[in-house]
Amino acid sequence: MSMNGYCCIACGTNQTVGFDGFLCPDCGGNLDIRYDYDAVAKQLDDGFPEGDRDIFRFAALLPLDRPRSLFPLRVGGTPLYRAIRLGKPLGMQELYLKDETLNPSASLKDRASAVVIGHALDTGAGVVSVASTGNAGSSLACLAAATGLEAMVFVPAKAPPAKLTQMLAFGARVLAVDGNYDDAYDLCLAASREFGWLNRSTGYNPFTREGKKTCAFEIWQDLDRRVPDRVVVSTGDGNTLSAIWKGWCDLKAVGLIDRLPKIDCVQSAASAAINATIGRIRNSDDANVNWSALKIRKVEASTIADSIAVDRPRDGLAAVKAVIQSGGEAVTVTDSDILAAIPEIARASGVFPEPAAAAPWAGVKQMRGSHQIGSKELVVCVVSGTGLKDIVNTGAAVGKPHLIKPALGAVRDCLRA
Ligand SMILES: Cc1ncc(COP(=O)(O)O)c(C=O)c1O
Ligand SMILES: [Zn+2]
């Protein structure tokens, strides 16, 4: 394994171990896993080995001792679709959808859970806990079931029923917290400390970023080693976005690519703490950001896109850095933009997103409208979770079936209407 310690995202100090599990011993900031990139570059030479289409083919850039052992499910290897009909009305020549709905628990979170569970297997942890808006919990529950570990999931009691059902079906212990995601997060942290569980929670656990970055590796491979101009990512805590940025940075660090894409951050207007911070930085006269002093102001999230409803982003600093360093846009969309994007994506591509997963397309439309995206740019929207996970909100966006009598005349009436 070529993992080479940690680096603090806030103060920039290299660390060999985290304190309290995974935080920076100097400042309490989130950690990022480092690698010996020269050693990996020699190992990879001309790219990743061929073989099974799952995330473990990227083992050279994963922080695991035994990447594939005991892991029966296929995580990753999801399709990258060229979305010609979706992009055409906007004159977009190269629009792609990375269809993360096809992971085992039907969201991108499985990439993160797989690496955290790999770490649990490496270290002998028996119980893995997580705070979740829903998808991280159903993902952990799914992969824990596949590997015989115990999952403890802390979710807001109002999480979509489909996500709760998934967790329960997989046999997780589900603690539905009478509060919001932030309450669930703090409780999970305290309980994991108290009972000695391996805490997978986003931001706190640096192994999640390592799993999610494989999404970038796959996009690169499926584009025949081209680098897109932009990758557009739906953002709540900021971990997914920072991970996808890290994936591209890793490819560059090992010499497989020589340029980086822009990473665009799409947030709901009703949950936009990260975009507000990016806006403040870009509007300030100071060209140098003091990352260790940067504060992300808490908001009161209320979006229908439950997966990105976050008051206090738990990996916000990493996401802000990624957008600023990549030169990407921070795009804020309304809930009605998000709802409208669901059937548009579904009807033009055959991919059915949950509200959070439709947000990138809503963001792309806005950026095309304001000419922030050119017609010739190669744009990848990450479709991060399936619409079946939230049929209440997705249902509101797609209309109702025709209720008819079982008679041919009724079909005729319907066709005329
Ligand atoms: C479907 C989906 N999209 C996007 C996100 C945003 O990821 P992050 O919270 O790391 O920004 C999540 C997180 O729960 C999600 O479940
Ligand atoms: Zn630090």
Tally of CB atoms within 10 A around 196 = 12
**pLDDT in the model for residue 321:** 97
Task: Please indicate whether residue 242, judged by its CB atom, sits closer than 6 Å to ligand 1.
Answer: no
- Tell me the pLDDT tens digit for each residue of 288-305: 889 999 999 999 999 999
Report residues near ion ligand 2: CB below 5 Å.
8, 10-11, 24, 26-27, 29
From the CB of 30, is ligand 1 less than 6 Å away?
no
The predicted model scores a pTM of 0.96
Position 107 pLDDT exceeds 80: yes
Looking at ligand 1, which atom is closest to the CA of residue 132? 14
Q: What is the mean pLDDT of the chain?
A: 94
Is any atom of ligand 1 closer than 6 Å to the C-beta of 356? yes
Residue 147: pLDDT above 70? yes
**Do 163 and 137 contact (CB within 8 A), yes or no?**
yes
Mean pLDDT, residues 260-276 taken together: 97
Token digits of residue 343: 């059937």
| Residue 401 scores a pLDDT above 70 | yes
Q: What six digits make up the tokens of 310?
A: 């976050």
Euclidean distance between CA atoms 131 and 276, whole angstroms: 24
Q: 152 has which bridge partners? A: 129, 173
Q: What is the pLDDT of residue 69?
A: 59
**C-alpha–C-alpha distance, residues 402 and 413, integer Å:** 11
pLDDT digits (tens, 9 = 90+) for 169-196: 999 999 999 999 999 999 999 999 999 9
Asked whether the predicted pLDDT for residue 344 surpasses 80, the reply is: yes
Nearest-angstrom CA–CA distance, 381 and 313:
21
The C-alpha atoms of residue 390 and residue 354 are separated, in whole angstroms, by 6
Amino acid 45: pLDDT: 83
In angstroms, the Cα distances linking 332 to 95, 233, 246, 365 are 20, 12, 23, 11
Residue 405 CA: distances (Å) to CA of 399, 401, 416: 19, 13, 15
pLDDT tens per residue across span 44-74: 988 898 878 899 999 999 999 887 656 789 9
Asked if 233 contacts 146 with a C-beta cutoff of 8 angstroms, the reply is: no
For residue 263, pLDDT beyond 80: yes
- 263 beta partners: 231
Q: Are 328 and 293 in contact (CB under 8 A)?
A: no
CA of 191 to the centre of ligand 1 (A): 23
Nearest-angstrom CA–CA distance, 46 and 28: 38
Mutate to test the pocket of ligand 1, among 240, 241, 304 (most ligand atoms within 8 A of CB): 240
Which tens digit of pLDDT belongs to each residue from 311-323?
A: 999 999 999 999 9
The string of pLDDT tens digits covering residues 152-163 is 999 999 998 999
Strands of the sheet containing 150-156, edge to edge, are 173-177, 150-156, 127-131, 198-199
β-sheet with 230-234: strand ranges across: 80-82, 94-99, 378-383, 230-234, 262-268, 330-333
Query: Which helix (H) or strand (E) segment is 263 a member of?
Result: strand 262-268
pLDDT of res. 286? 77
